[in-house]
Structure 1
Amino acid sequence: MLRNYIKTAFRSLLKNKGFSIINILGLAIGIASFVLIALYVNHELSYDRFNQKADRIFRIVENLRTENEMLFQSTSSPPMGPALASQMPEVDKFVRMQDWSFLVRKGDVSVFEEGCLLSDSSVFDIFSFPLLEGNPKKALTEPYSIVLTTSTAKKYFGDEPPLGKTLNMNGEEYKVTGLVADVPENSHIRFNMLVSFRTWSDQVNQPMNNMWFWNGFHTYLLLKEGEGQVEKLRAKMPDFITRNIEKGGMYYEDLPLQPLTSIYLETPRSWENGKRGSQNNIYTLSIIAGFILLIACFNYINLATARASRRLKEVGLRKVLGAQRRALVYQFLGESIIVSILATCMGFMLAALVLPVFNTLVETPLVFSLFPGSLTTWGGFVLIALVLGLLSGVYPALVISGFQPLQIFRGAPQSIFGHNGLRKMLVSVQFVISIVLLAGTLIVFEQLDLLRSRDLGFVKEATLLIRNNGDRAMVDRWETVKGELLKVPGVLSAAACSTVPGEPSNNLYATIEMEDGKLSPSNINTNFIDSDFLPAYGIEIIAGRNFIKGSRADDTTAFIINETAVKDFGWKPEQALGKKVDQNGKRGTIIGVVKDYHYQSLHHQVAPLILQENKWAYSTLSLKIRSDDMQTIIKSIGIKWKDLTNNLPYRYSFLDEEYDRLYKADAQLGKVAGIFAGLAIAVGCLGLLGLTSFSVERRVKEIGIRKVLGATLGNIVLIISKEFVGLILLSFVIAIPITWFLITRWLDNFTDKVTIGPINFIVAGLSVLTIAWITISYLSFKAANSNPTKALRNE
């Protein structure tokens, strides 16, 4: 009996090749889209879960209250970890981390090494970073000791054993005490080498017990095993803060605990470390994947119920011969599962073929193997095939098997055509989804255009950035290097700073004089700049003055703040001038106020900012260059740079490109959403093609009679297409509020956002309507041009 069912199923598929191809192709595209997005979502959700103790690892973060604002920081202070480990029985171990970079010299070669991580020796007890060589208990206990990843060790030492060898970094000799495996790609903590924490503590050379507001480290805790440890520790935090940290003008309101596995996708706090994903993008892409698969399933249901009219006599005859309804349901469900298996095979192969392109699009190394294939892959294959087959086939199977033989052979009015209402509803849902995806994608691209064209308050075009590579010899040579580079043809200006717009600024403790003469403590974003920075970037001074080049007084006592800081302190710009500031041991007064400029991304409001001179903090040289013949200018700058800096690495980038990377996740979402919106429309039109074909076939005699009675080609096309066009118009009306709701939630991530106007909905609706009209018109014209005598001659 089973073999008979399978034979019948394949005969039915071959007999209706057009419907079968549309069904299988539509489902295959839906499955391929679903698989690709599922791979990406699964990868994003897997971050940090490779750590064996991940469920017990938490990061300490800070909710810091100042007199003017609330700061939500991912960082913590040096004494935080040791104090919690010694005072809280729930804490087993702690590790403090901080990103560093070094100028590494080996022989005549100089390399600027980023991704160096200052760390306590307990890092190997907490995280699953396997140490391949060296003693995990001692590798990071001594100052100036480093642990290299395998790829970094190979870069500097080739195939030689690295243990015991030294590297000259920033003029100091560091000893290699360990070799660790390369960090897994799905870790939010990234590094090329680990540097012992004692290196920093010995350099600071002062007790850390009272550094409660030196918030420059990321602290992770390993809690002891047992239930309820997290809740117990959280409950004790208020008492811990009261006991250890004096409450003044700035104080800790809370020290939340972030689970390790949630850090990657949680809303970023200030001064985040490592890689970050986007929870909103995960939700959006998951919805898109579900939508496309839903459209494909609706196509199957529509086409299966429409095609059933051809099989009514088969059903009637089987019932007369004694077939029970259950057997017919099994047969039609079997056909549905066979179609689903074929579509799943095709979908998985499509996903494997386009995966390299998808990886390039999302910049993620996803892996999907069919042969030999993993248990997960084949388990997913069977699950998708069965679930889709059952979901898509259960309704058509029940409908087809439910007709009585007398109704079929007597030509009773109740027939499969009585289910037009359901098919119309499913078609409407398909086009609602298509319009939502297309309109949403258009608004995403419009928002990205706004971000690129927004007046940021500074000039970012044609700005070449050169890093000083941590060379201490540059401290006393900034002005000389700038002056010589200005002689290069095409270089218009040169300025030095610690951070450029788009990079995280330093967040430093400061006390600022208020109107009543009292000093208000606050952590405030800080950038160290020279006197050429503001004019080079076109940043406007609205009160006071700029730093004076070569002025000893400005170098040691002058500060400049931005408009937002002025507003937060309750002043007018002119009132800020002369106010006293004490920051990091530098005492002086405010000499100027600059107009707000977006030194962070437009995801954030402009925050208070203080600017000061400090040649020891400069790390980047900004050169404004002519936009014509840029390659020649860049090459000339490189030659001059190496002559001036004793062959330091010439690492350059462009400010506009670096700033645009702040919206990388948003741009990726726009591209991916656009592609899958197109696929959703394509799958919907495949179903529409099949339904139109069925509609034309059902009305072939009507068309013939109308033509004989004088109906024109346009009349017939209009008659066939008007019901589908009406459904699309209805879908357009339904899609508008859904799109508005979803896109408004997404736009909440930006401080500057586009206005959602009618034009995006009109363009999306007209696009879908045009594509659908072309699909319908193709079959309509074909039917209208056929010979009416053939239709009227055949019964």
Structure 2
Amino acid sequence: MFKHYLQHAFRHIRRNLSYTFLNIFGLTLSIASCLIIFLVVRNELGYDTFHRKANRTYRVTMNALDFNPSVSFGIVPAMRNDFPELEEVSQYWHQGDGLLKVGNVRYKERNYALADPQFLKIFDYQWLAGDARTALVEPNTVILTQSIARKYFGDKDPLGQVISWDNRFDLKVTGLIKDVPGNTSMPFDFLISFETVKPDLKAPMAEFYAIGGGNAFIVLPENYTVQQLERKMPAFIEKNWGPQIAAGAKLPLQPLTDIHFDQRYLDQGGIPTTSRSTYWGLGIVAVFILITACINFINMATAQATRRSKEVGVRKVMGANRLQLIRQFLGETAVLVLIALALGIAAAIAFLPVAGRWLDVKISAAELATPSVIGLMIGMTLLVILLAGLYPAFVQSAFRPVISLKGKSGTTSRGLTLRKSLVFIQFAISQILIVGTLVVASQMDYLKNQDLGFNKAAVVSFPVPDSARQEVIRQQLLQDPGVQAFSFSSSPPVYSFSFTDFRSPENGMTQGDVTEVKYIDEQYTDMFGLKMLAGEKITRQHTGDTIRNAVINEAMMHKLNIFDPSVAVGKHVLLINDRYNIIGVVQDFQSESRHKKIRPCILIYRPGAFFMASVRVDMSNMHATMDRIGKTWSGLFPEELFAYEFMDDRIAAMYKQDAKTYTAFKLFSSLAILIGCLGLYGLVAFAAVQRTKEVGIRKVLGASVLDIVVLFSKEFILLIIVAFCIAAPVAYYVMQHWLGNFAYQVHLGGGIFLVAIAASFVIAGITIAYQSLKAGLANPVNSLRIE
């Protein structure tokens, strides 16, 4: 019997190649898309879950006036001493800039960290060589990842090799691990023993009360709740910090698996955060894609019911019962779905490398063989067979033999109503996806291209290792014809490194708040085009000056309860205990991503804190200019390696995660709409065949080609309008919630929804146009001769 069903299924496929192609192609696209989306969502929502102790691991953070992921280096030894019940306490310190030397070859690295031996007891990595228990115990030791070891040593065994770090330390390679997975909040290319720098961490960095430092991680014992530890933290803070500070300071315990999704913190070590809801939304897009493909199948199967009514009648007369017919039709569906599954898996494997590059995720085809993905494929296959095949099987098996043998199905009206309902659902899904994609695109454009409050065009920044040579490099670079402007600072506008407490008792602000501090020279304001609202710009001050001047931004002015910039000039603020005279107010500028509101910022002249230089270069001959800057810099700092970053690249890095979201939604929403178009095309093609005589009669009676096109289009136009009435409020609610992740966001106005419905009309019109024009241009004599 099974062989008979299989033979009949393939016979039916051969007889209906166009119908089969549309179904298989749509299902293939949907299965491939769902598999890729599943891997992407699992990757993003699975940040740090690959560690065995992830559910018991917490990061100790700081919350006094703001949330800070870094704590002083005094926290870890204090916690080890005061909480002996903790399974592990570890110190981790991510580094963003370092010079490595292997033999005579130098490398500039931006992604490495320091850690103590306990770190390797908390976090799990795949070891290729070395011993995790001892690899970081001694000072001057380093663990390499596989890719960085290959970069430095090729095919040589790296164990025992020596690497020079920052021209100060000779590090011995004591371990080799596989590359760290991409979905981790602690990315690194190599790990240096924390013991290497421990002697250099003198007060105040090693003091308990210091602000900022590294990350502290703890592991709770089994059957020990985080609430138990949190109840002990106030006493711990008071003991080590003193009662005055303990009254307003906390050390929140942040779950390891929440780090990637917690956007409250000042800095996340260069790893952009995101919202879990974003990726749940992408998962919903996958469901939409699958539903759309199933709708296509149901629509075309029920539309073809009249063609198969005689076959059903003959089988019933020959003794087939309804259950046998249901098995037959479900079997045909299963064959199509299994073919689509095989093709979908092949397509997913072929497209994964491309998707990985577009979405900036590390996903390999081997992940398709994991139990969870195999389970998904089995479940998805069964679900599609049931969703796509069950209703058509029941409809077709219910035909009555007498009516069926006359060539009628007896369910035309019901089948037509169902098809219209399903097309309505498709249009609603498409419009929700169109609105979502347009909103994400608008927000991304706003993030990248709206006024940031400063001039970022053609600006390059690079570090200055030795402050004693600042004036030399300034004079030499200003003589370069390709350098249009030059400035020293602790950080350009979009770099945020330094934060501190500020108060202003004279303005009634007795409680402290957090401000960003930027140390800048006298050229900074003009070079970056900062707009002065009142007062004077920062000017050069002598080290012996007793009056400390500062310029504040609007956000700080408002914190002082002042709303007229001219009134703020002459007032004073306290940074910790240092008193600064406000000489000017500058318009707010963006120094962090637009996920967060602009925070208070104070600009101060302090040459000893000028760690970075910024230049505006002539873009007409940019490469030659950068080569000359590099040679000048290397001539002054021969032991270092020149590395620079364009301001545009820095800004793009802020929105790296958002760009991934936009690319994913744009790609998979387009696929969902394409799959819907395939089904709509198949329906119109089938309708054109079914209404061949009607079209011929209408043409004989004087109908134009336009009349025929309108005939095929009008019912779909009505469905688009009704679907829009449902889709618009749903899309508005969902996208308004998504925009809530940003402190600054686009307005969700009616224009986006008008574009969405117009796009729906265009997409449907293009899909319908070919078949309706073909029917309208056909010779009526030929159509009326068909019997």
Fold equivalence (TM over 0.5) = yes
Question: 1-side partners of 2:538 and 2:705: how far apart?
Answer: 79
Q: 1:431 and 2:427 equivalent?
A: yes
One-letter code aligned to 2:727 = A
One-letter code aligned to 1:483 = Q
2:558 paired residue number: 567
Change (3 A) 1:521 1:78: farther
Q: 1:488 pairs with 450, 474, 480, which one?
A: 480
Task: Kindly indicate whether the alpha-carbon contact (under 8 Å) linking 2:588 and 2:598 is maintained by their aligned counterparts in 1.
Answer: yes
Change (3 A) 1:324 1:27: same
Shift of 1:83: 3.3
2:34 paired residue number: 34
Post-superposition Cα deviations, 1:732-791, rounded to whole Å, max 9, x if no partner, equal 332222222222122222233222233322223222212322322322222233343444
Shift of 1:172: 2.0
Change (3 A) 1:46 1:556: farther
2:187 paired residue number: 190
Matches within 5 A, 1:267-416: 267=263, 269-273=265-269, 275-278=271-274, 279-369=276-366, 379-409=375-405, 414-416=410-412
Question: 2-side partners of 1:432 and 1:721: how far apart?
Answer: 17
Q: 1:784 pairs with 762, 766, 776, which one?
A: 776
Post-superposition Cα deviations, 1:416-465, rounded to whole Å, max 9, x if no partner, equal 34221111111011111112212322222222222233221111001122
Task: Kindly indicate whether the alpha-carbon contact (under 8 Å) linking 2:143 and 2:191 is maintained by their aligned counterparts in 1.
Answer: yes
Question: 1-side partners of 2:7 and 2:388: how far apart?
Answer: 20
Post-superposition Cα deviations, 1:224-254, rounded to whole Å, max 9, x if no partner, equal 123x432322343445445544354785454
Task: Kindly indicate whether the alpha-carbon contact (under 8 Å) linking 2:272 and 2:654 is maintained by their aligned counterparts in 1.
Answer: no
Shift of 1:411: 7.2
2:7 paired residue number: 7
Shift of 1:404: 2.6
Task: Kindly indicate whether the alpha-carbon contact (under 8 Å) linking 1:90 and 1:232 is maintained by their aligned counterparts in 2.
Answer: no
1:95 paired residue number: 90
1:246 paired residue number: 242
Change (3 A) 1:158 1:714: closer
Question: 2-side partners of 1:734 and 1:303: how far apart?
Answer: 24
1:46 paired residue number: 46
TM-score if structure 2 supplies the norm length?
0.92
Question: 2-side partners of 1:370 and 1:785: how far apart?
Answer: 51
Change (3 A) 1:583 1:112: farther
- Which stretch shifts more, 540-549 or 307-316? 540-549
Question: 2-side partners of 1:130 and 1:343: how far apart?
Answer: 36
Task: Kindly indicate whether the alpha-carbon contact (under 8 Å) linking 1:85 and 1:92 is maintained by their aligned counterparts in 2.
Answer: no
Q: 1:702 and 2:694 equivalent?
A: yes
Change (3 A) 1:584 1:116: farther
- Structure 1 SS opposite 2:216: strand
One-letter code aligned to 2:766 = I
Change (3 A) 1:184 1:448: closer
Shift of 1:337: 0.9
1:68 paired residue number: none
Q: 1:77 and 2:68 equivalent?
A: no
What RMSD over aligned residues (CA atoms) do the two structures have, in Å? 3.0
Task: Kindly indicate whether the alpha-carbon contact (under 8 Å) linking 1:62 and 1:252 is maintained by their aligned counterparts in 2.
Answer: no
2:617 paired residue number: 625
Unpaired segments of 5 or more residues in structure 1?
Answer: 66-70
- Structure 1 SS opposite 2:619: coil
Q: 1:748 and 2:740 equivalent?
A: yes
1:536 paired residue number: 527
Question: 2-side partners of 1:544 and 1:364: how far apart?
Answer: 48
Question: 1-side partners of 2:678 and 2:107: how far apart?
Answer: 56
Question: 2-side partners of 1:164 and 1:547: how far apart?
Answer: 52
1:551 paired residue number: 542
Task: Kindly indicate whether the alpha-carbon contact (under 8 Å) linking 1:507 and 1:524 is maintained by their aligned counterparts in 2.
Answer: yes
- Structure 2 SS opposite 1:13: helix
- Structure 2 SS opposite 1:526: strand
Change (3 A) 1:559 1:250: farther
Change (3 A) 1:413 1:769: same
Post-superposition Cα deviations, 1:304-344, rounded to whole Å, max 9, x if no partner, equal 11111111122222223322211111111111111111111
Q: 1:764 pairs with 728, 743, 756, which one?
A: 756
One-letter code aligned to 1:255 = L
Q: 1:525 and 2:525 equivalent?
A: no
Q: 1:738 pairs with 730, 744, 749, which one?
A: 730
Q: 1:178 and 2:169 equivalent?
A: no
Question: 2-side partners of 1:694 and 1:304: how far apart?
Answer: 11
Question: 2-side partners of 1:605 and 1:515: how far apart?
Answer: 26
Question: 2-side partners of 1:771 and 1:150: how far apart?
Answer: 49
Question: 2-side partners of 1:555 and 1:674: how far apart?
Answer: 58
Question: 1-side partners of 2:138 and 2:567: how far apart?
Answer: 51
One-letter code aligned to 1:10 = F
Shift of 1:36: 1.6
1:442 paired residue number: 438
Question: 1-side partners of 2:43 and 2:785: how far apart?
Answer: 61
Change (3 A) 1:166 1:378: closer
Matches within 5 A, 1:455-534: 455-468=451-464, 471=465, 474-508=466-500, 510=501, 512-515=503-506, 521-534=512-525
Task: Kindly indicate whether the alpha-carbon contact (under 8 Å) linking 2:541 and 2:605 is maintained by their aligned counterparts in 1.
Answer: no
Post-superposition Cα deviations, 1:345-388, rounded to whole Å, max 9, x if no partner, equal 222222222222212211223212599x6666655444332221
1:610 paired residue number: 602
Q: 1:232 pairs with 207, 213, 228, which one?
A: 228
Change (3 A) 1:554 1:321: farther
Post-superposition Cα deviations, 1:656-704, rounded to whole Å, max 9, x if no partner, equal 2221221222223223322323222221111111111222222222223
Question: 2-side partners of 1:220 and 1:231: how far apart?
Answer: 16
2:253 paired residue number: 257
Matches within 5 A, 1:145-156: 145-153=141-149, 155-156=151-152
Question: 2-side partners of 1:331 and 1:413: how far apart?
Answer: 18
Task: Kindly indicate whether the alpha-carbon contact (under 8 Å) linking 1:547 and 1:554 is maintained by their aligned counterparts in 2.
Answer: no
Unpaired segments of 5 or more residues in structure 2?
Answer: none
- Which stretch shifts more, 337-346 or 723-732? 723-732
- Structure 1 SS opposite 2:218: strand
Shift of 1:392: 0.8
1:671 paired residue number: 663
Question: 2-side partners of 1:542 and 1:717: how far apart?
Answer: 62
Task: Kindly indicate whether the alpha-carbon contact (under 8 Å) linking 2:135 and 2:174 is maintained by their aligned counterparts in 1.
Answer: yes
Question: 2-side partners of 1:345 and 1:370: how far apart?
Answer: 16
Post-superposition Cα deviations, 1:593-649, rounded to whole Å, max 9, x if no partner, equal 322111112221110112333444333210012232222222222222222332632
Change (3 A) 1:714 1:131: closer
Question: 1-side partners of 2:45 and 2:409: how far apart?
Answer: 54
Question: 1-side partners of 2:139 and 2:606: how far apart?
Answer: 27
Post-superposition Cα deviations, 1:713-745, rounded to whole Å, max 9, x if no partner, equal 222222222112221222233222222222212
- Structure 2 SS opposite 1:195: strand
Change (3 A) 1:209 1:277: closer
- Which stretch shifts more, 293-302 or 431-440? 431-440
Shift of 1:59: 1.3
2:635 paired residue number: 643
Post-superposition Cα deviations, 1:511-544, rounded to whole Å, max 9, x if no partner, equal 5441179975444322222222222111133344
- Structure 2 SS opposite 1:188: coil
Change (3 A) 1:693 1:438: same
- Structure 1 SS opposite 2:475: helix
Change (3 A) 1:105 1:346: closer
Residue identity over aligned pairs, in percent, reads 35
